[in-house]
Amino acid sequence: MRIKYELIFTITLLAFISSKASADEISYEDRYAVYDLINSYSYGIDYYDTDMLLVLFAEDGIFKVNVNGELINTREGRNDLYTEFSERVERRIQNATGDGHHFMTNIVIDMPRAGYITGKSMAIVSNRAPGEQVVVNTHGMYEWEFKKEDGTWKISRLELFYN
């Protein structure tokens, strides 16, 4: 009986190990598509392009914001994401906050299973109010999840952690 359980355990373990793809196994095309999504997100946010941002996210995409360890915002699905990004545009215009730029760095991605990529990146966000010098507005970490939707990589979850 013990041999039977050991055999089942060994087969389960081997199945789990073989189903996990390593970061080395992410194809160049998939890696480039994910990096392009991260960079396009930065441009979409910085240049108030809500339509572009929506194209980057999966239909059921999730967007979360944490500040100083506290979850302050969660948006889920295309309509909720549209509201989030439109409100951000309106706030920036109304407050005349000026030009902001997101600089993504230290991007690390992994493919825990086929058709699904996770990642982290560091972000430095600068701002230049009209007539002012460029300043670092905030910095933090982003956690990304990507999935294929109709054969195209999309952001399925993005969680921001700002200090």
The span from the CA of 71 to the CA of 86, in Å, is 20
Confidence tier at 18 by pLDDT (50, 70, 90): very low
Lateral strand order in the sheet of 152-162: 70-76, 57-67, 152-162, 135-149, 116-128, 99-113
pLDDT tens figures, 102-145: 999 999 999 999 899 999 999 999 888 888 888 888 899 999 99
The DSSP annotation for 66-110 comes to EETTEEEEEEESHHHHHHHHHHHHHHHHHHT--EEEEEEEEEEEE
pLDDT at position 94: 65
Q: Which of 17, 22, 24, 37 is nearest to 147 (CA)?
A: 37
Confidence tier at 9 by pLDDT (50, 70, 90): very low
Position 74 pLDDT exceeds 80: yes
| Mean predicted confidence (pLDDT) in 7-13 | 46
For 13-47, b/e burial (b = at least 16 CB within 10 A) is: eeeeeeeebeeeebeeebbebbeebbebbbebbbe
The span from the CA of 104 to the CA of 85, in Å, is 19
23-162 fold: Nuclear Transport Factor 2; Chain: A, (3.10.450)
pLDDT at position 10: 47
Tokens (6 digits) for 21: 């793809």
What average pLDDT is seen over the chain? 85
Write down the domain spans for the chain.
Answer: 23-162
